[in-house]
Amino acid sequence: MTDSYFLAGRFGAATRLSPKALRLYAEQGLLVPAHVDPATGYRYYAATQASRARLIARLRQLGLPIARIARLIDLQPDVRLAELRAWLEVQSKRLEDQRELVEAIIRQSSGGDDPLVRAVAVRDVAPSKIVYRQHHVTVDALDAFTQSAETEIRGYLAQSGKSDDGPMTLHFHEPVNHDGKGLVEVAIGYDGSLEPTGDLRIRLQPAGREAFLAVAEPFETFPAVLRVYDAIEAWFEQSDDLSCFGSPYEIYPGRGGTRFDVAYPIVR
């Protein structure tokens, strides 16, 4: 071979790739040797492959899976840069969410967020008929589903001659996060009789009581809103004769001019 070709060991040392990594990238088609000696099996890499090798190594240091690297590696540099910046933004958001979750664990371990816990109140809930729509969503898709379901329900109520300006409740029947879908429900109350249609369903909501907290503006978005949920759950833990049952929900609009309340149904 000429001086423009290097054995795998020397090429790996120059590009900071281990022999194991070179074999893996060759098997995956990411970095195939320029020549393999049929007699010895020695693998040779061209000097012109060094920049590709270093780029692969850096992408792997980011923790990207090989399948994604395979797609990124052959993109035009400006397109690859745009994708990496978008990826970095997502990772930054995920890290912020994880930081807030760690803070939530700390608050739970220390007995809760005292000012918020003290602000929790209890109120009676009258029986009502509600029309609702359910769907499995992630956090990222939650707002879009909520808006479309609310628009659909209010439109159906108006079409049916019912009042369509009642409060909207958003029930969380399962956990909702960035990585997994959970079952949520958008519901609005009505009077009189109404038939279900399409994916809109009808049910009677019995009378009861709820512990609730009006959500101040700094806590309106995920994951900051978790502090409100944590406060109500801490309040239940501090109550001797009350317990939570059923799914938590958000009520739009909230008390005192706030955008929404967070509420939990309670039982004595």
What are all long-range contacts of 26-34, with beta carbons under 8 Å and residues at least 24 apart?
28/66, 28/70, 29/70, 30/56, 30/66, 30/69, 30/70, 30/73, 31/56, 33/8, 34/5
Better pLDDT: 67 or 132? 132
Domain 5-74 of CATH type 3.40.50.150 = no
Q: What average pLDDT score do residues 42-66 get?
A: 90
Domain 115-267 of CATH type 3.20.80.10 = yes
What's the confidence (pLDDT) of residue 3? 61
Q: What average pLDDT score do residues 243-259 get?
A: 89
Q: What is the mean pLDDT of the chain?
A: 89
Q: What average pLDDT score do residues 114-143 get?
A: 92
Q: What average pLDDT score do residues 150-164 get?
A: 96
- Identical fold for domains 5-74 and 115-267, yes or no, is no
Q: Give the residue extent of every domain in the chain.
A: 5-74, 115-267
pTM of the full predicted structure? 0.64
